[in-house]
Amino acid sequence: MKILVCVKQVPESDSSFIIDDLQKWVCKGPFSYKMNRFDESALEEALSVRDKDKSAVIDVLSVGPETSKDIIRRALGMGADSGIHILCDMDGYVSPFLTASYISSYMKENHYDLVFTGAMSEDYMQGQVGPIAAEMTGLPCVSFVVKQEISYGKKSIYAERELDGGLIESFELKLPALLTIQGGINKPRYPSLSNMLRANRAEIRTISPDILSKNDPKQINLRVSVPEKRREGYLLSGSVQEKAAKLIRILSQKAFIA
């Protein structure tokens, strides 16, 4: 069983952003990055497969700038066998279509029995890369999976996803297949210090996007802007009595109380 897990670096939630009017996107800055939490869940699902099938091999792939190597090394520390980095250091918006194009091009040259991606990324939250990559490679796909189980005898995989109202939709897909994994369905393992030391010494295969085939872009980003400020918050200070008096005064001014 050969498994590919696609991971992405995303900025830490406390990062500050500046909009670049020329690039019509967010400026690259000294952000602190982490692995997308949905991708952590996808990697944990792959590792759980290998826990049952010791012969399984897990490759981790990331499309992004040089800093993406950090999350690849973290994935290696968590237990992945090898890392692949498609170096994409473009300025401005990188569409899910382009990312999926690079991933699918790599997948066509390297056979995998099973592909896991996160259901979405914490920054874009579009949930498109996995399904687009599956379409480009002709793989059956289920998105937002909350449970999966491989049937080695039938060479298939059983998958479940949640629908509105708590309904469960179930599928059986012939392998090879691609699943996008919902976040929070497992507890991603924490890499030990010894594993991270080995991961930091591991060789990561770097691929230039120039040698990969890609489809013409289908999406152009026109602009990005900060949401218009429509509400205002108040921070009350002082003792409990002073805060209560200030709150009453504000509510009276807003005509919420007489």
**Given pLDDT bands bounded at 50, 70 and 90, which one contains residue 134?**
very high
Residue 219 lies in a domain: no
Residue 191 lies in a domain: yes
Residues 17, 26: Cα–Cα separation, whole Å:
6
Residue 216 lies in a domain: no
pLDDT digits (tens, 9 = 90+) for 137-185: 999 999 999 999 999 999 999 999 999 998 999 999 999 999 999 999 9
Top-confidence residue, 223 or 117: 117
Closest CA to 132 of 69, 214, 72: 214
- pLDDT of the residue at 215: 67
Top-confidence residue, 73 or 214: 73
- Asked if residue 204 has pLDDT above 70, the reply is yes
The terminus-to-terminus CA distance of the chain in angstroms comes to 70
Residues 205, 183: Cα–Cα separation, whole Å:
27
How far are the Cα atoms of 113, 115, 137, 178 from residue 131, in angstroms, in the given order? 16, 11, 10, 8
Residue 86 lies in a domain: yes
Average pLDDT of span 14-22: 75
Residue 223 lies in a domain: no
**Given pLDDT bands bounded at 50, 70 and 90, which one contains residue 23?**
low
**Given pLDDT bands bounded at 50, 70 and 90, which one contains residue 232?**
confident
Top-confidence residue, 18 or 43: 43
Q: Supply the CATH number for residue 147's domain.
A: 3.40.50.620
Residue 224 lies in a domain: no
* Candidate from 58-67, 135-144, 232-241 with smallest mean pLDDT: 232-241
**Given pLDDT bands bounded at 50, 70 and 90, which one contains residue 15?**
confident
By CB atoms closer than 10 A (0-12, 13-18, 19+), residue 255 is exposed
Give the residue numbers spanning the domain of 29.
2-211
Average pLDDT of the chain is 91
- pLDDT of the residue at 187: 96
How far are the Cα atoms of 114, 117, 137, 171, 243 from residue 45, in angstroms, in the given order? 11, 10, 22, 17, 49
Top-confidence residue, 218 or 74: 74
- pLDDT of the residue at 29: 66
What is the number of structural domains in the chain?
1
- pLDDT of the residue at 99: 93
Residue 196 lies in a domain: yes
Residue 257 lies in a domain: no
